[in-house]
Amino acid sequence: MIETSRLNRGKQKKSKKKKRKVISLIFLLLLISAALYFYFQYKSALNVSMKATGVSQKQVEFNGVQTKGKMNVLLLGIDSRGEEKSRTDTIMIGQYDHDAKTAKLVSIMRDSYVDIPDHGKMKINSAYSIGGAELLRKTIKENFDVDVQYYALVDFNGFSQIIDTAFPEGLEVNVEKRMSKDIGMILEPGLQRLDGKQTLAYVRFRKDAQSDFGRIQRQQEILGKVTKELLTINGVVKAPQLLGTIQPFINTNIDSGEVLSLATSYLSNRDEGIKTLRIPIDGAYEPKRFQRAGAVLDLDLDENKAALQEFLGENQ
Q: Is pTM beyond 0.85 here?
A: no
154 CB-side CA count, 13 A: 20
272 CB-side CA count, 13 A: 16
Q: pLDDT tens for residues 38-60?
A: 444 444 444 544 455 456 777 78
Of the spans 64-78, 197-211, 229-243, which averages the highest pLDDT?
A: 197-211
Cα dihedral across residues 181, 186, 190, 196: positive or negative: negative
Position 316 confidence tier, pLDDT thresholds 50, 70, 90: low
Q: Is the pLDDT of residue 172 over 80?
A: yes
Q: Is there a contact between 215 and 206 (Cβ–Cβ < 8 Å)?
A: yes
Q: List the domains of the chain with CATH numbers.
A: 70-312 (3.40.630.190)
Instruction: List, in sequence order, every residue forming a beta bridge with 120; answer none if it has no partner.
Output: 116
**Which of 61-65, 124-128, 226-230, 270-274 shows the lowest mean pLDDT across its residues?**
270-274
**Cα–Cα nearest to 160, from 91, 256, 77:** 77
**Cα–Cα nearest to 129, from 92, 76, 59, 58:** 76
**Rounded Cα gap, residues 213 and 221, in angstroms:** 13
- What average pLDDT does range 240-268 have in this prediction? 68
Q: What letter does residue 177 receive in the DSSP assignment?
A: S
Instruction: List, in sequence order, every residue forming a beta bridge with 126; answer none if it has no partner.
Output: none
Give percent of the chain with pLDDT exceeding 90. 37
**Rounded Cα gap, residues 220 and 59, in angstroms:** 27
Q: pLDDT tens for residues 131-159?
A: 999 999 999 999 999 999 999 888 877 78
Q: What is the pLDDT of residue 135?
A: 96
| DSSP letter string, 186-209 | -B-SEEEEE-HHHHHHHHH---ST
**Rounded Cα gap, residues 197 and 202, in angstroms:** 9
| DSSP letter string, 50-108 | TTS-----SPPP----PBTTEEEEEEEEEE-TT-SS-EEEEEEEEEEETTTTEEEEEEE
**Rounded Cα gap, residues 6 and 212, in angstroms:** 81
Count CB-CB contacts under 10 A for residue 50: 12
Q: What is the pLDDT of residue 289?
A: 92
Q: Is the pLDDT of residue 232 over 50?
A: yes
Residue 88: which residues within 8 A CB-CB, separation 6 or more? 76, 77, 78, 79, 110, 125, 128, 129, 136
Q: What is the pLDDT of residue 293?
A: 83
Residue 4: which residues within 8 A CB-CB, separation 6 or more? none
**Cα–Cα nearest to 77, from 178, 223, 209:** 223
**Rounded Cα gap, residues 208 and 30, in angstroms:** 53
Q: Which region, left, alpha or beta, applies to residue 157 given φ > 0 means left and ψ of -120 to 50 means alpha?
A: alpha
83 or 269, which is more confident: 269
Q: Is the pLDDT of residue 28 over 50?
A: no
- What average pLDDT does range 171-175 have in this prediction? 94
